Structure 1
Amino acid sequence: MERTETNTSIKDRKNQENEAKHSEKNVLVSEGDPPKKKKRPRWITRDMAEEEGREEVLRTTFNEFFIYSIFVILMTIYVTGIHHRKAFYLTKGLTQQFVERQFDTVNDAEITFLEITTAADFWIYAEGHMMDSFYWEATYSTEQADENAMHILQENRVLGVPRIRQVRVRNDSCVVHEYFRRLFLNCYDMYSDDAVDKETFGLGKKTAWVYSPQKETKSLSYWGKITTYGGGGYYADFAMTRNKTAELFAELKDNLWIRGGTRAIFIDFALYNANLNLFAVCKMAFEFPTTGGIMTTADFRSFGLLRIRSNYDWFVMACECACYLFIVFYIFEEIREILYFRLKYLARFWNYVDVFIITLTLVSGAFSIMKMLMIKQELYDIMDNGDKYGNLEYIAWMHLMYNNLIAVDLFLIYVKIFKYLNFNRTMGQLNNTLKNCAMDILGFSIMFFIIFFAFAELGYLIFGSEVENFSSFGVAMFTLLRTILGDFDYQEIEAANRILAPIYFLSYIFLVFFVLLNMFLAIINDTYSDVKTEIALAPDEMQMTEYLSQQIRNLLRRLGSKCVSEKSETKSEINATLRQIREVLKKCGFSDLEIEMFFARYNVDPLAEIGVADIDKLMNELEDILKGEDVKYESSFVRVSDFVAQQERLEQIDRTIGKLVEQVKILLLKLDQMSNVRKVRNE
């Protein structure tokens, strides 16, 4: 009889548990039968490990960070090794010789290259100081000059000969207003592809007077101060001797090579320094704006092209090859994550960083290979044709693009280190702060740029015709950005407009500097405080130091070492088990409050000493619950169904209290009315 009653009670208990399984708030067995475990992939990346558990995240993070650290070291050696540390001194020497050095003009006034303003100044500079810089009579007092070569600053040999080239525009490239057509017969617009003059002029012979397209000159377009100029034009190569070059300049000058349609003149040359194994591609530009005068710019680019010279160069090349092997590995890793996450792959920020790093490395490698294949043929052509222009412009452009790509690539490689530091909440504060305040910053940016663009447009319209820092809308924007950092010339705008300048300056400082900038800092500070609070309140998780110490103890145990403390080992295992339980409950849908209540059932305190028996008891009962097996619960055990019933009772009490409050309000209202009636009667 007792057995029958016992079986009946067991069946009732099973029925109650089955009803609790179908309840929405029963998170332990809400899906009915326990879900089937996913088959663990053989190759797990850090992002994939987030679905496996905390310990797996730490394991993959440590492994990937170790491999990535080797890649960063190799990439740093490779990028810094191909960048010549002495290139600055060659550029500085050329700048001092051609740009900063003074020369005498017609009126015996000393000016520099940057102060050239007329065609007369240009010819004095070309026939005097520039000729002296190209044709050295002797290298040193005991040496004779090489008549078949040109040297600059004694140590730098010019490859081939320099070239002078000009671009022109047509006389009908613009239209004179009808009021002034009798006064102005010629009209030359600013340079553009549509306005280029391709007609023969002057002597009508040789390339100096006959237009040559870019395919013949093999010169690249140049982005000057005013506009971008094409690679074609009218050109003449220097001679190997000073006298013949002087005759060339005299012919150009006497026959008015520079005329009203001239818009730019370029002096191009390339040189090589054998002491440093460095090349330099140089361009001096003289722009003739439509307003008259001359605007000068100089561009000297020093770089190394012949890499293999010492044992260290071989080591750098070996590091380069190793870097590309790492890139191949990371390509397969990204393919693995794409196949695993599918469309979710696009929702992860660091995946875009990985793709950019791989793309930039491959593109820069392609530029490097093309440059190595071209430089050999170009140098042979220059050596075989020493009396012609040594054109290395295209190789210099390829090296510039290669250098920019590899520099940005290395920058992103260093930034990616933050991805592996986010395993720790303290180290991930920056990432969490930026992520949490992204929407607030986006809303603030809209408000900021509306005011910022308004001030930039106002400054451009008021001061643009007199102040260089406001000469265009883009320049005005950068000027206002510099103002935020304290770099601003107030006297310059005050001289342009004494009335509006102080109003403009004070209003900008008040609105942007004192209001908007402090709002931006407040958004960052508030979000950072919230992140710090979340870190303080977050439940304890296994840290990298604990994981590494655990792995070291396991390794020592396998090696037979007896120095591992059993007490500390048991305690670490218990802490690890608690974290595993917490992670399992979170995956099942528990909230942090419910997890703490679950631990409270077994008197589990993370700060207190916990026995092995308590952990075993907790784990056994939890496994039985997840499997749906019969468990002999203690009388004090609180089931999930009890939580549901308690929640319903609380809601019923809440509704009852609400009705009581309404009744009390009605009663108080009636009492007020009765008191008013009594007052009226007494009166």
Structure 2
Amino acid sequence: ISIHQVQTIPDYWKWLERQFLPNFYASQYFNSTTIVNWHDRNCISDLDTRRVGVARIRQMRIKEDSCELRGVMKNFINHCRSDYGWISDDTSDYFTRWVTPVGINTSLLEDATTPWVYQNSVQLKNAPYVANIATYKGGGYVALTKRQLCRTRKVVETLKKQDWLDLRTRAVFLEFTVYNPNSNLFGSAVLVAEFTALGRAFTRTEFKVFRLLSYIGAWGVVVVLFEVVYACFTLFFFIQCIKKVKKNKMKYFKDFWSLLEFVLLTFAVTVIAMYAFKHILTNLAFDALFDRESDGFVNFQSVALYDETYGYMMSFVVFLATIQFLKLLQFNQKMNMLGDTIRVATKDLKVFSISFLLYFFTFTATAYLLFGPAMATYNSLIGAAESMFAFALGSFDFESMADTQRILGPIFFFLFIGVVYIGLMSIFLTIIGEAFTRVKEDVTLRTNEYEIVDFMWKRFKALLGLN
């Protein structure tokens, strides 16, 4: 059974015991001999990837009678349990088997860290998590695995016998981190099983791959060299940019290329600061990992999330730097005509963009209402907008649409093709074609900067005697 086949709590225990644990702990070599070396026991079943600390099982629960019974139904139903919510979630402390402490017994649980005591997001150093059904807090009831398979099995068996997962369980998070030394990559995994009020489970898996150790081997020296060069050039041009801003004041930001340069350098300096802070977070994570007094679990999810954000910032810097290269294309006649075409068509494109957005969001709202209840890609407005944008680019699932809505599905599909693909795209191409014709015929609308390049190229060839 795989995690995506889990539908009930018994299924989850079965998957955890029979599928996850045997693969998370290496017990045999490929020739079926028992592993004796403790270095190899620290690997997962592929004998290549190593576990980083232990795994954490975190449960989110709801309070008893989290919803209200109304009318005559109070006479027939003695309890009501809702789906997960930030108000209905349970944050109380319990004894084993979810026994509620009474009176003076509550003081016994104040500093306890058992799986029956709630720990908030600050204690767990964890951020809220957005899953398929709900958004969950960073806290929860936590059970940690052990470094040996036999001891971990005892922990799981004990939790199972004591009904740690029951009717009030709404989500179970299995979090762990692995490291592959061959590729020098870390992998942080979150396996989520969400349980509705009816007891049905919906699973979600998320894996983040990131690199924390940049200076490995001889290549590390080259990496340091390029980082120093990048930092020096960035700081130099940033200082020059600040001087231009002081000299020209607000006039500096009226030019598009000057504004682009300022934004690019600001993001480049931000990336340098984020890179330094990334190393600080890495050192803190490894210090906690090697701390003998810790429980063995280190939350690399926050480090992975920060590394992902850092990657987004780096990609934005590369994007802006690539746009800056377009400035050089103004000396090319063909590319310069393209820029002039966009400039001439700007007024018509503004009006067209308003019409396009109105039609696009109309189709998005319709798709959300038609396919949202049955198709995961349309179960939210944002997801529906992403799916419709992919549809506009040619990526769609006609069979699922037709299965969900046998009559309205095909009608919606062909209507979108007719309106967006044929109608709006034809209008867009007509606007661009008309503007290009005007630029091509009217010489006054074209700039002559490319003639400077032709003149310089001719003089260069004459200097080399190539004419």
Q: TM-score range by the shorter chain?
A: 0.7 to 0.9
CA contact (8 A) 2:336 2:446 kept: no
Tell me if 1:382 matches 2:289: yes
Secondary structure class of the residue paired with 2:191 = strand
8 Å Cα contact 1:147-1:240 kept in structure 2: no
Equivalent residue for 2:17, pick from 127, 139, 146: 127
- Residue in structure 2 matched with residue 47 of structure 1 by the alignment: none
Structure 1: runs of 5+ lacking an equivalent: 1-102, 104-111, 557-562, 569-683
1:306/1:535 Cα in 2 relative to 1: closer, same or farther (>3 Å)? farther
Cα distance in 2 between the residues matched to 1:503 and 1:454: 15
Q: Does 1:151 align with 2:43?
A: yes
The match for 1:280 is: 187
Q: Deviations over 1:277-298 (max 9, x none)?
A: 2222222111223454112122
Match of 2:61 in 1: 168
Alignment of 1:489-504 (within 5 A): 489-504=397-412
Specify the alignment match of 2:211 in structure 1: 304
Q: 1:251 to 1:508 in 2, by over 3 A?
A: same
Given the superposition, is the C-alpha separation of residues 260 and 528 from structure 1 closer, same or farther in structure 2, using an over 3 Å criterion? Answer: farther
The counterpart of 1:433, out of the listed 329, 333, 341, is 341
Deviation at 1:208, TM superposition (A): 0.6
Give the AA of the match of 1:198: T
Per-residue deviation, 1:451: 2.2
Instruction: Give the C-alpha shift of residue 502 in structure 1.
Output: 4.1
**Is residue 2:238 matched to residue 1:331?**
yes
Question: Is 1:519 the equivalent of 2:427?
Answer: yes
Alignment-derived partner of residue 546 in structure 1:
455
C-alpha deviation, 1:119, in angstroms: 1.0
SS in 2 for 1:231: coil
Relative to structure 1, the CA distance from residue 195 to residue 428 in structure 2 (aligned partners, 3 Å threshold; closer, same or farther) is: farther
Q: In structure 2, which of residues 148, 153, 156 is the aligned counterpart of residue 249 of structure 1? A: 156
Mapped contact 2:336–2:447 kept (Cα < 8 A): no
Change over 3 Å in CA distance of 1:135–1:493 after alignment to 2: closer
**For residues 190 and 334 of structure 1, do their structure 2 counterparts lie closer, same or farther at Cα, with a shift above 3 Å needed?**
farther
Aligned partners of 1:271 and 1:279 also within 8 Å: yes
Q: CA RMSD in A?
A: 2.9
Deviation at 1:249, TM superposition (A): 1.1
Deviations 1:435-455, CA, capped at 9 Å, x for gaps: 332332221121122222223
Q: Which residue is 2:102 aligned to? A: none
Quick one: structure 1 residues 190 and 333, their matched pair in 2 at CA, closer, same or farther if it must change by over 3 Å?
farther
Counterpart amino acid of residue 455 in structure 2: E
Higher relative contact order (CA 8 A, sep 6+): 1
Whether the 8 Å CA contact 2:214–2:223 is kept in 1: the answer is: no
SS of aligned partner of 1:151: coil
- CA shift in 2, pair 1:425/1:336, >3 Å: farther
Are residues 378 and 148 of structure 1, via their aligned partners in 2, closer, same or farther at CA, if it must alter by over 3 Å? farther
- Where does residue 103 of structure 2 map in the other structure? none
Q: Is residue 220 of structure 1 aligned with residue 127 of structure 2?
A: yes
What's the TM-score once normalised by structure 1's chain length? 0.60
The C-alpha deviation readout for 1:233-264, integer Å capped at 9, x for no partner, is 10011112222211211121122211233221
Deviations 1:504-557 (A, max 9, x none): 33333322222112111211222233333345875866422423554787xx7x
The aligned runs of 1:100-115 (5 Å cut-off) are: 103=1, 112-115=2-5
Aligned partner (choices 368, 379, 388) of residue 460 of structure 1: 368
SS in structure 2 of the partner of residue 295 of structure 1: strand
Measure, in 1, the Cα distance between the counterparts of 2:375 and 2:287. 50
* Residue 126 of structure 1, CA deviation: 0.7
CA contact (8 A) 1:168 1:197 kept: yes
* Residue number in structure 2 paired with 1:391: 299
Q: Which has the larger radius of gyration?
A: 1
Where does the alignment leave 5 or more consecutive residues of structure 2 unmatched? Answer: 100-108
Q: Equivalent residue for 1:343?
A: 250
Q: TM-score, normalised by structure 2?
A: 0.86
Aligned to 1:447: 355
Residue pair 2:62, 2:170 contacting (<8 A) in 1 also: yes
Q: Is 2:252–2:259's contact at 8 Å kept on the other side of the alignment?
A: no
Q: Structure 1 runs of 4+ off > 6 angstroms? A: none
Return the offset for 1:341: 4.0
Residue in structure 2 matching 1:506, options 380, 405, 414: 414
Q: Cα distance 1:156–1:253, how it changes in 2: closer, same or farther (>3 A)?
A: same
Amino acid paired to 1:287: E
Report the residue type matching 1:129 in the other structure.
Q
Residues 1:181 and 2:41 aligned together = no
> SS of the residue aligned with 2:288?
helix
Partners of 2:124 and 2:62 lie apart in 1 by 18
* 1:417 has 2:307 as partner: no
- Residue 373 of structure 2 corresponds to residue 483 of structure 1: no
Paired-residue identity, %: 27
Aligned partner (choices 84, 88, 101) of residue 191 of structure 1 = 84
Residue equivalent to 1:138: 28
Instruction: Kindly state the Cα deviation for residue 370 of structure 1 after the two structures are TM-superposed.
Output: 1.4
Q: Encode CA deviations 1:565-589: one digit per residue, 9 max, x unaligned.
A: 9xx9xxxxxxxxxxxxxxxxxxxxx
CA contact (8 A) 2:340 2:445 kept: no
